[in-house]
Amino acid sequence: MVEHVVVIGAGVYGAAVTASLTRRGARVTVVDAAAPAGGTSGATFSWTNSCGKQPRPYHDLSVASMAAHRALAAQVPHSDWYHEGGNLEWADDEAGRARLRKKVEGVLDYGYEARWLTRAEALSLEPDMNPAELPDEEIAYFPQEGWIEPTRLIGHLLSTSVRGGAELVRDDAVTELEVTDRLVRAVRLASGRRIAADAVVNCAGPRADRITDLAGLVLPMRNTRGVLIYTSPAAVSVSRVIHAPGVHLRPDGGGRLLLHTHEIDSAAHLDDSGEISVEQAAVDKVIEAGRALYPGMRAVTVESVRVGERPIPGDGLPVLGRAVDLPNFHFAVSHSGATLSVHAGDLVAAEVLGEDRDAALAPFRFERF
């Protein structure tokens, strides 16, 4: 019988798994090498979507996860971390337009809500955009998409868990897993503390492979860096996620905006001292693209540039659920954690406690590697 569970990692996955386990009556200790939300969860675009995700089980998991976010936000009075404003996307060349048409056609075939807008229709949703930056038509709109504020979500999930009896251990890295007879018996921390466990859940994000190594297993990962630009407050109306050809942006609270492009990710470099820096010219280019799209941004400054490490399993798909060869060792590791965490975390927690979730988790098992 599983009574005490150790959850490794206090990001969106760790917080969601901990909250679900606590709600189901388990005693939980969640441990993190740093502060909650101090890793990838604190530096993510956190776009909630299932826009073009393949194969079909990944799409369906993402759609169910979006619904779980919606339901949780509706249950919690004054919840302020979930924003379902939709997503606008367009391209500026024929190759990009062809890819976007294929994506829209694919999600519509799955029953996912999407429609095409004209420039005038897009401006009715985002009136502060510069009309000259928009095409006449073929602007894709995905109305059920949005974003979360991960740190605030994690704060809610962990505070609820602690009130329910969970223990939060921060700034204490896992250094060893005691494994005997194909079971994890205990977790050892850098402080020297030993925590006996009936089950362990690996929610360590980009370090999930290291935790897996401690368990005597191998999890292939191909992590990438993500560069995010946070602006000063701007007196400009931005209400949803925008994917324009030169800039991706969304609101980030207090009038601030969060900007990103795939191209700027490659401008992050590790210097000789081990610090990560981002080329200033790349930051300036993204800011200028934002100002061109939203002229009201002309006075904004860059408050911070953050570099997050995206945890991406070797084939790009989530790794969820128990390991066959170590049946009390479980995974909740993926890219798109902002979208998946609440729902996938609940599926994993249910399986930890012996409930059958194989139909949902089978496509994402560790054994596929």
- At residue 32, the pLDDT reads 98
- At residue 326, the pLDDT reads 98
Low-confidence ranges of the chain (pLDDT < 70): none
Contact 202, 332 (CB under 8 A): yes
Percent of the chain whose pLDDT exceeds 90: 95
194-221 pLDDT per residue, tens: 999 999 999 999 999 999 999 999 999 9
How many angstroms separate the CA atoms of 48 and 311, rounded?
16
Instruction: Delineate the domains of the chain, giving CATH numbers in brackets.
Output: 4-67+150-220+315-368 (3.50.50.60), 84-145+223-310 (3.30.9.10)
Report the candidate in 76, 10, 4 with the shortest Cα–Cα distance to residue 345. 10
The CA-to-CA distance between both ends of the chain, in Å, stands at 29
Report the candidate in 182, 189, 178 with the shortest Cα–Cα distance to residue 323. 182
Neighbours of 125 (CB within 10 A): 16
- At residue 182, the pLDDT reads 96
- At residue 264, the pLDDT reads 95
- At residue 244, the pLDDT reads 98
How many angstroms separate the CA atoms of 271 and 261, rounded?
22
142-197 pLDDT per residue, tens: 999 999 999 999 999 999 999 999 999 999 999 999 999 999 999 999 999 999 99
